[in-house]
Amino acid sequence: MTDIAIASDHLNYRVAGVCVREDHVLLHREAKDDFWVMPGGRPHLYESSRDALIREMDEEIATRVEVLRLLWVVENFFEYFGERLHEIAFCYQMSLPENSPYCDVGVEFTGQEGDVTLLFHWFPIEEIERVRLYPTFLRTALSALPDSPVHVIHVDQPDP
């Protein structure tokens, strides 16, 4: 007989966009959360990660982003509301169209994912180490984006 996986363990496949503009990075969060993440979401079955990022940004802020290049493939292990998660994420550098109303790094804005409101904020990269950002390796990695894709295996511990 084989073991059955514990119901509180989950595998999550995610795609995220790293949008840097005027030495700021765009982050988002759900209103219920007290931490920030890279914008993105979950690819559909048979949808490429690049296409998923374009679709997610279109759904969330009605903007067609340009996906530039793969930065990180991340295996992240963490807990969220008491549930253990193993996340596989493709993190791409992306850009907003020049005529986008969201290009002004001084403006906060909201987006929508179904019935969930998302808060978007541009953070200065020089201050990102002090932001409650997950996965936490991004707090230092965003100051020097890699020249070629990097595989990251990361275990997030909750902040004190």
What number is the average pLDDT over the span 129-147? 96
Secondary structure string (H, E, C) spanning 101-145: CCCCCCCCEEEEECCEEEEEEEEEHHHHHHCCECCCCHHHHCCCC
d(CA 28, CA 36): 6
How many Cβ atoms are within 10 Å of 46's Cβ, its own excluded?
Answer: 6
> For residue 118, what pLDDT band results from cuts at 50, 70 and 90?
very high
d(CA 28, CA 31): 9
What number is the average pLDDT over the span 95-101? 95
The correct answer on CATH 3.90.79.10 for the domain covering 9-148 is yes
Pick from 50-59, 82-91, 119-128: least confident: 82-91
Q: What's the whole-model pTM score?
A: 0.89
> For residue 5, what pLDDT band results from cuts at 50, 70 and 90?
very low
Domain spans, the chain: 9-148
> For residue 85, what pLDDT band results from cuts at 50, 70 and 90?
confident
